[in-house]
Amino acid sequence: MEDSAIIDLYFARSESAISETQSKYGRMLTSVSLRILRNPEDADEAVSDTYMKTWNSIPPTRPNVLSAFLTKIVRNVSLDKLDSLHAEKRGAGEIPAVLDELEECIADSRIPVPGEGMEIREILNSFLEKEKPESRKIFVRRYFFGSDVKEIADFYGIGESKVKMSLARSRERLKACLEEEGVTV
């Protein structure tokens, strides 16, 4: 079923919208959630929460790209779940490691950021557009989807050291970009 037809089902408040979404995107959503949570039961719960959030978001929202809309929701739901699961045990799993890597690029939370979230999103999108395609793909797989270095290397058929070097260089360029925009100290 086409995405526009699935979205129309949501607008019609037809419960088949969820089953069609699950049929078309269930494996992708589970995969994204599993990369973050590393636990099938938690991932299944996050995917179920994603369907509920999607039901509550459409309408009024009419996503342009349903897969991107769903991926963003499942990613955020999974990160929230991970945070609640590891609230007292920081440092377990891949996502805390990913966030630690980016820590050097992110502004100190006590420093006011001009325009807050939207401006940072625009800066990040602009930064990613300027990256070479391979560097951009590696960066997104690591920092958006939470893939580990070995998984990225295997996926692209390159060495782990190349992935690590690409990520390190991208972080340096991101830090410079954020500093240039006045977002970091």
Domains identified in the chain and CATH numbers: 3-85 (1.10.1740.10), 96-180 (1.10.10.10)
Termini Cα distance of the chain: 48
CA 171 to chain centre: 17
Q: What is the pLDDT of residues 20-59, one digit of tens each?
A: 999 999 999 999 999 889 899 999 999 999 999 999 999 9
* 184: its two tokens: 């970091």
Q: What is the Cα–Cα distance from 54 to 58, expressed in whole angstroms?
A: 6
Mean pLDDT score of the chain, rounded to an integer? 85
DSSP of 143-157: HTS---HHHHHHHHT
pLDDT tens for residues 51-104?
A: 999 999 999 999 999 999 999 999 999 998 888 776 544 444 566 667 677 776
Residue 55 near residue 18, CB atoms below 8 Å? yes
Angle at 71 between CA 141 and CA 116, to 5 degrees: 85
Query: How far apart (Å, rounded) are the C-alpha atoms in residues 81 and 99?
Result: 15
> Any idea how long the chain is?
185
